[in-house]
Amino acid sequence: MFDRTHTVTDSPYGPLTLVATGGRLSGLYMEGQRHRPPQETFGEPDPAPFARVREQLEEYFAGERTGFDLPLALNGTDFQRTVWNALLEIPYGETVSYGRLAARIGRPSAARAVGLANGKNPIGIIVPCHRVVGATGALTGYGGGLPRKRRLLTFEQAGIMTS
């Protein structure tokens, strides 16, 4: 097992807990997030490995960055990793339905399974699970809570309209 470390950083969406496994970002958890692992699994506190993550998050929240360039450790099943990697392909400020995401990964009848995998995304914001919506465009579940999802989508869409 790789060494794990963590730190907490402030954001406009509340404190974010960043977790690294073997030097790669393996978690970004919001306060009160559903499916958040127990704190004791995050390893020792150490802010040093997270300087680049913090810098890119600050740029994102300032509206200066639309994508992230960080080494990630996506730890999950093969199906979950497939879904999470597909999330990385959703452009900034855009949304996609669970059904369309299922079709993109070659599993058109797996919208519910895609939704479950999306909900267990361990690296929120950076792996943009907030960009997935219901078939009608309605906001549906989000591990960080629907108010945060709405704020993130509004923030990104406003950034596109002003650029």
Hunting for tokens 């509004």 — which residue is that? Answer: 154
- Cα–Cα distance, 74 to 136 (Å, whole number): 29
Rg (CA), the chain: 15
Q: Is 129 a catalytic residue?
A: yes
**Which of 72, 50, 68 lies closest to 5, judged by CA?**
50
- Cα–Cα distance, 55 to 60 (Å, whole number): 9
- Cα–Cα distance, 72 to 25 (Å, whole number): 5
The answer to whether residues 93 and 160 touch, using CB atoms and an 8 Å cutoff, is yes
Give me the catalytic one of 74, 129, 133, 153. Answer: 129
Residues acting as catalytic residues = 129
